[in-house]
Each structure stands twice: as C-alpha cells, then as structure tokens.
Amino acid sequence: MSGIDLHEVADWYQSVSKLLSLSELHLSSCGLEGLVPYQLGNLSSLCHLNFIYNDQLYVDDLSLIARLYSLEYPDMTGSTLAGQLIGFKRSISNRHMLSYLDFEKNILRGQIPDELGQLKHLEYVSLIRNSLSGPIPASIGNLSAVRLLCLNDNQLNGSFPKSVGFLSNLEELHVGQNSISSIVSEVNFANLSKLKILEMFLNSLFFNVTSDWVSPFQLDELQMSSCEMGPTFPSWLRTQASLSALDISESKISDVAPKWLWKWVSRIESIDLSNNQISGDISNVFLNSNVVELSANLFKGQLPHLSPTVQMLNFANNSLSGPILPFLCQYMKRKSMLVVLDLSNNLLSGELPHCWMHWQNLVHVNLGRNHLSGKIPNSMGSLSMLESLQLHSNTFLGELPLSLRNCTVLKFINLGENELSDSFQVGSENC
C-alpha cells in the first residue's frame, strides 16, 4: 500500500490487525499520522514491517515492535520513533529472528541497551540521526552476523569498544559525528577482514597503530576527518589498493608527503588531506582524482599537472609559487572537467594567460591573495558557467574585459585590493 494517501483513513489499522497470517506490511509514504496502534502487536506472523517516510507517525513504545517475534525487517526510516531503545529489553531473546533493524532519522534517546547483543541474527543495524547517548555497549561484539553497523550522528560517548574487532562479517562501520573519545588500535580491527567502508569522522579518536601494521581489510572508503592519525603520515594506507574515497583531513599530520603518496592517490576518486601540516614539493606531481582537496597544508613548488578528469582542485592556503601560466595552458588531450578551482592564499605570480577557453566547465574560481599581475584577459568571458569569481588581493590593473558580459550566471565577484582603473555598471544585462 506504499504511496497511497491514508492520512484521512483513521481506522486503517482495525482491518489490518485482523490479518493474523500477514507476513509483510508496506505502508511507506502514506501520510500516516498519530501513534502506531498497539493492535499491530497481534500480527504474530509479520516478517517485514515498512513505515518509512511517514514523518507524522509516532511510536512511543518500542516494545510494541519487539513483541513481533517473527519480525525480521522493521524499517522505520524517516518516521517519528520516540522513547528509548531500552524498550526492547522486555522482548529481546535469543530466539528472536530479527535480522534487519532500521530506525534511521528518528528521535530515539537514551543508551543502546546491552541486550541488543543478544540478537544473533542481526545483519543490518542503522540508528543514524537519533539522540542516542552513552557508550557503545561491548555486547555489540556478539552480533556475529552483522554486516552493516550505522551509528552516525548521535550523541554517543565513552570509548570505542574493542569487541567490534570480533565482527568478522562486518562490511560497513559508521560511527561518525558522535563524542566517542579513546585510542583506537589494531585490536579494534583484528578480525574485520571483510570491512569495506570505515567512517569514524568527527570524534575524539587517536588512531594508534604501529608503523609496520598491515590491516586485515581492503577498504573502498575511509572517512577519518578530525581523528588524530599523525604526526607521521599513516604508512599503513599504502597497502590499501581498493580505495575510492579518502578523507583524513584535520588529522594532525605534520610530515613530509611520502614518495609513494602521489602514485598511490592516482587510483582514488576523491581525496581530502586538508587542514594538516603536510609538506613537500608538488611541482612534478600528476593529479587525476575527481576531487582533490589539499588546502591548508605546507605544500610548495609550482602547480602540479592535471588530468582533464579532475572536477575539484583546492590548494588554498599553501605555499605554492611560480607563474600560473604553465598550469592554465597545459596541454590536455580532451576538454577539462574542472568545476571548482581554488588556488587562493599562495605565492603564485605572473599574468593570467589567454587559455581560459580550455576550462569551460568552471563554476567557481578563486585566485585571491596571490602575486598575480597584468590585465584580466578577454578569454575569461568564455567561462559561460561561471557563478563565482574571486581575484582579490593581487595587483591586477587596467579595465575589465567586456567579454565578462557573457558570464550570464555570475552571482559573486570579488576584485578588491587590486589596481584596476575601470568603472562599470552592474545591471541585468551585465555581470
């Protein structure tokens, strides 16, 4: 019955609760309102319960759901589950067949009960975006069948349990955006040979592994922003051959980029090393990741070579120097896909060349706070998709090119602190 508007049908549950042999009940996006009626607890044969995206539907006693002993798949994403998970304690037992638990985006509060570890058949657990607090219980290590564990965006605190390392079937671990504070070591990952996605960002975690540690897993994604992984660059990453997304920004790394780094990241689609103190000369580096976020570090040398597949390049707040011309006029075999270019707050010099026609996908350009000079070239008018242009705090002079009138979607422009002599009118027909 998913998608059927039932918000004015007050007695829908009376008919449904009489279907004692019902095994699946799908009522997603039905506009249901009010409390989930207690009569549904009589559906002893129910295996799959789907109430997702009924944001005015309330469940204030989770024991009602737990009473359904045949239930394997309760999906309440985007509804309004209230109360505490502790309500499950009354009904959880080793004979419970629950394998799928999705209470994502609700208003559950309180602690995750130890009894959750008794649900031996659980394969999928998602409690993202609730108001859960307290520690992750050590009993979570008893969920031997669990493949996905999502606890992101709560108020969990305490230590990260070593028992997570027992979850030999775990493929995805999401505990980001909490207040977990502890040391994380090899023990926490001892048996996680199937792990593909690891998200621990925005916690107070210290990743403490030996320099010769070889992880038991091969990750597809690693999201560790704001977790302490330094001061040396984590050498264990070199053994990760399957990564497509890496975020170790703001992780207190203060080290020279290892020689193997740039060849290794060439296989990664999205890389974020920003807000560290990573140093090194990047003059001869070739970058071909789709997203390259390296701002707020200590990189020096001239601008690197770029693949046309790069869509975002951010080197703001580094110490890059030399002329900008070789970078902008570099030869590419096909049209550049670059959308965001941020080279602000560096030491780049020279005039802007007439090569902007090769960068026609650009939407945001920030070259502010450098040592760039000369006139703004006419070819900048070929950036028909440009929405933001920042050239402030340089020594540009002369008049603005009339070709900028072609930038019909330009919304923001900053030319302050230059030596421009032009006066121009901003109107509906101009940039």
Domain 254-431: assigned CATH number: 3.80.10.10
pLDDT digits over 364-402, tens only? 999 999 999 999 999 999 999 999 999 999 999 999 999
pLDDT digits over 14-68, tens only? 666 666 566 676 767 665 665 565 556 566 656 666 666 665 555 555 555 655 5
This prediction's pTM: 0.84
Q: In whole angstroms, give the CA distance from residue 286 to residue 76.
A: 46
The domains of the chain are located at 254-431
Region of poorest pLDDT, from 35-39, 234-238, 264-268, 379-383 = 35-39
Under 8 Å between Cβ of 396 and 418: yes
- pLDDT attached to residue 145: 95
- pLDDT attached to residue 109: 81
Q: Mean pLDDT over all residues of the chain?
A: 85
The residue with greater pLDDT, 110 or 314, is 314
Query: Do the bridges between strand 24-26 and strand 48-50 make them parallel or antiparallel, or are there none, so unpaired?
Result: parallel
- pLDDT attached to residue 84: 61
pLDDT classification of 107: cutoffs 50, 70, 90: confident
Q: How far is CA 111 from the centre of its chain?
A: 25
- pLDDT attached to residue 101: 81
The residue with greater pLDDT, 106 or 277, is 277
Residue partners of 25: CB distance under 8 A and separation at least 6: 16, 40, 43, 46, 48, 49, 50
pLDDT digits over 273-330, tens only? 999 999 999 999 999 999 999 999 999 999 999 999 999 999 999 999 999 999 999 9
Beta bridge partners of 57: 34
Does 90 score more than 50 pLDDT?
Answer: yes
- pLDDT attached to residue 378: 93
- In angstroms, what CA-CA distances link 249 with 95, 101, 196, 202, 227? 44, 32, 20, 10, 8
Percent of the chain whose predicted confidence (pLDDT) is above 90: 65
